[in-house]
A and B are shown apart, each in its own frame.
Chain A
Amino acid sequence: MDNSNKQVVSSNFVGRGEPQVWATGTALSIILLIAVVLILVVALNGLGYFWPSNLAQFNLADGSSVIGEIHGEEVAKRSGTDRVQLKIGNRDLYGLDFRWFDRSDIEETSFPENAIALERIEYGNFYGFLKHTDAPGVELDQDDTRDAFELAWKDIKDQQETLAAMDGEIRHINYELKRARSKRHKREYAEGITTRTENPQSPDEIDAKARLDAVASEKDETVARLAVNVAVFTDAAGTEKEIRLMDIERVTRPNAMSISEKVFHYLDKLVELFLGEPRESNTEGGLFPAIFGTVMLVFLMSLFSFPFGIIAGVYLREYAKQGILVRTVRIAVNNLAGVPSIVYGIFGLGFFIYGIGGAIDRVFFTEQLPTPTFGSGGILWASLTLGLLTVPVVIVATEEALGTIPQGIREGSLSLGATKFQTLVRVLLPMASPGILTGFILAMARAAGEVAPLMITGVVKLAPSLPIDGQFPYIHAERKFMHLGFHIYDVGFQSPNVEAAKPMVFVTALLLVLLVLVMSSVAIFMRNRMKKRFSVSDF
């Protein structure tokens, strides 16, 4: 009785198609799990990076001692020994940032309150203790060592602001000088003078050069004045190290910090990440130029690929006579979406940069040759290349979206005396917009994540200036640019100090994912609004 019951249940289980439901459910869960794990790994590795971890001081068996951030731990399988990895910093003293210590060698671990962590402009972090401050350029009336250091450092930092302003001015004058020079070259070229001299000759150039020299010497003076302000630190072993106050970016005493101070520090670092410039061959500092480059690249790409993609899709679906030719074109477009991106990169290099860019240089920038203006990689060419890469996605999406609109809607509009174009603009495109936007989302996500074609069409490790700035003509589409995807590759695999760069790789990856997410969310939000307005009722 029991047995037969069971059989009925099991046959029902199979008969109802339960295993198939379970299989599909399992497949979905596995995919979701992979996605979640991916985000989690990136987020956990990246987000912890800015938290000021405590500085541990190890007194070793051989009598020496080191101080640094505990970075990792592992058990060596064969010897069974427990090892601790310490980020000891002080690259200028030790030559390397990270060291492994056997647990058995560590006699005592302590977290001294007065341990100090310095974030420096060069040579990475310094971990140690403050000895004394020697800041003749700062007037102080206190004797307490710590406060004197903090005050002097803050004062120097304030003075350094003027340095930044001078840098900006130097860039500006340099740009003027360059323009004046190329103007002269153009004139000379028109007059038939072929020997080029870089020395300033025209009054504009001489004037700019004089101003440049003035600012430069003023800057040198300021630097010299600030550079005498130093502080002396000792590392855990007692070695003294003199560090210029102006080279110190951030000072923390993590062991003495409260949670709220740490949170504040964390947020401060996040702000730097979003708005700051990169330092230390991109392993430190911010990502602003890379974020800016990525967003601008995607934006420019959209300007090229969306209009053309929509127009082509509309033509194929609404106007072209459906025949063998259109079918061939359609197959070609679909295949184009599957061409490896590096192939597009090569095409961009050959066609856009050498072909079109070279031609532009020959016609408009003759006097600059052989120095290329448009004839070398730049954000314009990179975004055109990405535009080509994503245009098939937009075409296919547009076609599909138009294809799902019932024929009756077209007939309804035409029967009211609308032209084909009026029907398209007033009825079909609004109705197709959710589908087209889906294509946009896919295209944008693909463009934002693409690195290979960029590497040969104008992405660089460090761009001296953004493609948009305050100098005429404000948008410099020929300039090279930075990109988050390339940043990941560069920091993670081309950096001299891979171990120190690792957290930055995760942070950048996280940021790239977030960026794609934000851009897609905007598009999805728009799509949902369109859907509400334009969806066709179903039976």
Chain B
Amino acid sequence: MLSMTQFAKEESDDFAAIGQNPPDDSHLATSASAPPREGYATGNDAQRPVIRASNVDFFYGNAQALFDVSMDVPRNRVVALIGPSGCGKSTFLRCLNRMTDLIDGVRVNGSIQLDGEEINRPDLDVIELRRRVGMIFQRYNPFPKSIFENVVYGLRISGVRDRRALEEACERSLRGAALWDEVKDRLKESAFELSGGQQQRLCIARATAVNPEVVLMDEPCSALDPRSTARIEKLIGELRNKYTIVIVTHNMQQASRVSDFTGFLYEGRLVEFGVTQTLFTKPIEKETEDYITGRFG
């Protein structure tokens, strides 16, 4: 069994390997024993949570998938959601931009607020919400269009016609997704010509082209090889400066490498939520410890 100290050491090694320092959370330091929300509930705007979920219950028909989940996502931080398969982490993620609407017969109780605005209101403009909360999927899903058209898709559908604006946005987001140098000479080529990792980064560029506040990532690296995974993880570290990121991952090392905060979900409940390093080194709950040490899951 891996001891906690070993684990923490490895984790920082990994950060070094991909040229990224472990997140510095000294200014946000919260004790593991206190619920993290109290650390940000008051304070200046930069520290006010972007997303505040309170007491969220979620039902697929009669089956309940989430039980009373409450979580605050702080601005410009990376929040990782971990947990065994079927624990509801993807469901929770999809609640945050109402992608759950695509499924028939689902129901949400509780409140999810984006910048203080309730997103489960029936009269909410879902289109606008999804523009503010972008999403990256497990399986990279570029459209069968050129690289350029893929990146500017979000702008085009929101009615941007100006060629210069589109080109600028394309370059900006491709640079932001660390893809510009690789594709700048073949923007007209099909997105399918790219490798898997490049396609996923293209999807990230596509999501960030519309300037969202929050980027949701649903296991973004699970279909990629280790090299591409490392690039994406590095990218997440860079994106953190501009966006708030919520990432679902199966891979605990990845969670510890990329995230500032981690939530552990188990059987539809948020068992524990806290600063990543603390959660991985000194988990409060027994279930969390069992999971991160590999006793189950």
**CB within 8 Å of B: which residues of A?**
321-322, 406, 408-419, 422, 426-427, 430-431, 533-537
Contacts and interface: CB of A to CB of B under 8 A. Distances in A.
Interface stretch (B133-141, B235-243, B253-261): B133-141
A412 B128 contact: no
A416 B157 contact: yes
A416 B156 CA distance: 11
B275 interface: no
Interface in B173-190: 190
B179 to A, nearest CB: 17
A431 B141 CA distance: 13
A426 B143 CA distance: 9
B210 A416 contact: yes
B144 A536 contact: yes
A408 B141 contact: yes
A416 B102 contact: no
Interface in B208-246: 210
B279 to A, nearest CB: 28
11 contacts: A409-B143, A411-B141, A414-B102, A415-B97, A415-B99, A417-B157, A418-B127, A418-B153, A426-B143, A536-B192, A537-B192
A413 B143 contact: yes
Contacts of B206: 412, 416
A427 B137 contact: no
B114 to A, nearest CB: 14
B130 A414 contact: yes
A417 B144 contact: no
Given A417-B157, A422-B157, A411 B130 contact: no
Given A413-B153, A415-B99, 8 more contacts: A412-B141, A415-B134, A417-B157, A417-B158, A418-B154, A422-B157, A426-B157, A431-B144
A322 B128 CA distance: 27
B32 to A, nearest CB: 34
B154 A417 contact: yes
Given A417-B130, A417-B131, A417-B154, A411 B192 contact: no
Interface of B: 97, 99, 102, 104, 127-128, 130-131, 134-135, 137, 139, 141-144, 153-154, 156-158, 190, 192, 199, 203, 206-207, 210
Contacts of A406: 139, 141
Contacts of B192: 535-537
Contact of A411 (B102, B104, B142, B158): B102
A62 to B, nearest CB: 80
A-B residue pairs, 3 tightest by C-beta = A417-B131, A415-B135, A408-B141
Contact of B135 (A411, A422, A534, A537): A411
B130 A415 contact: yes
The listed residue with most B CB atoms (<10 A of its CB), out of A414, A415, A534, is A415
Given A408-B137, A411-B102, A416 B207 contact: yes
Contacts of A430: 144
Contacts of A416: 130-131, 134, 153-154, 157, 206-207, 210
Given A411-B99, A411-B102, A416-B207, A534 B144 contact: yes
Which of A412, A417, A427, A537 has the most C-beta atoms of chain B within 10 angstroms of its own C-beta?
A: A417
B144 A411 contact: no
Contacts of A417: 127-128, 130-131, 154, 157-158, 210
Nearest to B149: A426
B157 A418 contact: yes
Contacts of B158: 417
B137 to A, nearest CB: 5
B143 A427 contact: yes
B139 to A, nearest CB: 5
A536 B153 CA distance: 17
B144 to A, nearest CB: 4
A415 B141 CA distance: 11
Nearest to B158: A417
A260 B77 CA distance: 86
B274 to A, nearest CB: 28
Given A430-B144, A536-B144, A408 B139 contact: yes
